[in-house]
């Protein structure tokens, strides 16, 4: 399946953000394991911020993909299956 270049770029961006999140989480766990609680709590804030950013961007990409899919379906339906207001020029 060929993907649109912007879809590929979005996927790469999400993959990069996921890798950053994983690294931040690893750092948090390491600090927690070492008993560095003050540092771990600061790191937790960074980790949660990365997670929120990844989730926000993932939802944006998902919404855009669903919208494009709906538009593609509407463009391929025969006129007889389109809602009445869609049949007018």
**In the chain, where the domains are located:** 37-68
Q: How far apart are CA 46 and CA 23, in angstroms?
A: 11
Instruction: Give residue-wise pLDDT tens across range 29-74.
Output: 999 999 999 999 999 999 999 999 999 999 999 998 888 888 887 7
Nearest CA to 48 out of 25, 30, 26 is that of 25
Q: Is the pTM of this model over 0.75?
A: no
Phi-psi group of 74: left, alpha or beta (phi > 0 → left; psi -120 to 50 → alpha; rest → beta): alpha
Q: How far apart are CA 34 and CA 43, in angstroms?
A: 13
């Amino acid at each position: 399946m060929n993907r649109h270049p912007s879809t590929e770029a979005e996927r790469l961006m999400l993959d990069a953000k996921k890798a950053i999140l994983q690294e931040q989480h690893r750092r948090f766990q390491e600090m927690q394991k070492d008993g560095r609680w003050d540092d771990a709590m600061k790191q937790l804030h960074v980790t949660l911020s990365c997670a929120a950013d990844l989730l926000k961007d993932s939802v944006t990409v998902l919404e855009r993909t669903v919208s494009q899919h709906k538009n593609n379906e509407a463009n391929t339906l025969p006129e007889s299956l389109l809602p009445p207001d869609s049949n007018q020029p």
